[in-house]
Amino acid sequence: MRYLFISDLHLEAERPDITRAFLSFLRERAATADALYILGDFFEVWLGDDDPNPLAREVTTALAQLANRGVKVFLMHGNRDFLIGRRFCREARCTLLSDPQRIELNGEPVLLMHGDSLCIDDLGYMKMRRWLRNPVSRFILRNLPLKTRYRIGRKLRAESMARTRLKPSDITDVNLGAVADVMRKFKVHTLIHGHTHRPAVHDLMLDGQPAQRIVLGDWDKYGWVLTIDQNGQQLESFDLT
């Protein structure tokens, strides 16, 4: 079995190079896998499944074609695309995962997360996250006129970028205590997440036992993918061209 994990592509019309690289990735690498996991921030912004964005339609079709080839596709909400809903998943033929999500890979339990809920030292972000992820808030946002959602999306994006530039890097990274707590709760020794844009494999000790936290990279100057198969695991970058 061969599993691929990606996150933080931030697909948008302004970065056609990333979209081209992703579509090529689906045709050339994902097509030979058993499953593809996309762990959040797949899109730079998602305003609802009713948005007639041509990019969204192109990506939806590509994912459905991959699924039609027998590759299982799994998707998790990120902080940028938490409004992805059932219609998109149905048309893209992908399964929406909860966050966190515990799965089994090669007989071992593994925990999947987007990763933003682990950044508990960023108090302002966590407050905003609680409001945006509230079911009532999401219901209201989904039912606003599309033009209003576009305006809100631009405002939230600009504010997020401004806050991130001003905050120390340790504030916007995960809290290691929160990492240990969630791994204990779900009884795993491997955690895979994205969000922080700091790709790495972190070896750690959890209650006297070796454990790992694998951080996926964002697609910007390079693409990133984690491959797990019978030979082990490999986190690698690749050119977007």
| DSSP string for 163-174 | HHHHS-TTTSSP
- Binding site residue list for substrate: 79-80, 122, 160, 164, 167, 195
- Binding site residue list: 8, 10, 41, 79-80, 114, 122, 160, 164, 167, 195, 197
Interacting residues of 91 by C-beta distance below 8 A, sequence separation 6+: 60, 64
How far apart CA 137 and CA 130 sit, in angstroms, is: 10
Phi-psi group of 234: left, alpha or beta (phi > 0 → left; psi -120 to 50 → alpha; rest → beta)? beta
- Binding site residue list for Mn(2+): 8, 10, 41, 79, 114, 195, 197
How far apart CA 139 and CA 120 sit, in angstroms, is: 25
- 47, 49, 43: which is closest to 12 by C-alpha? 43
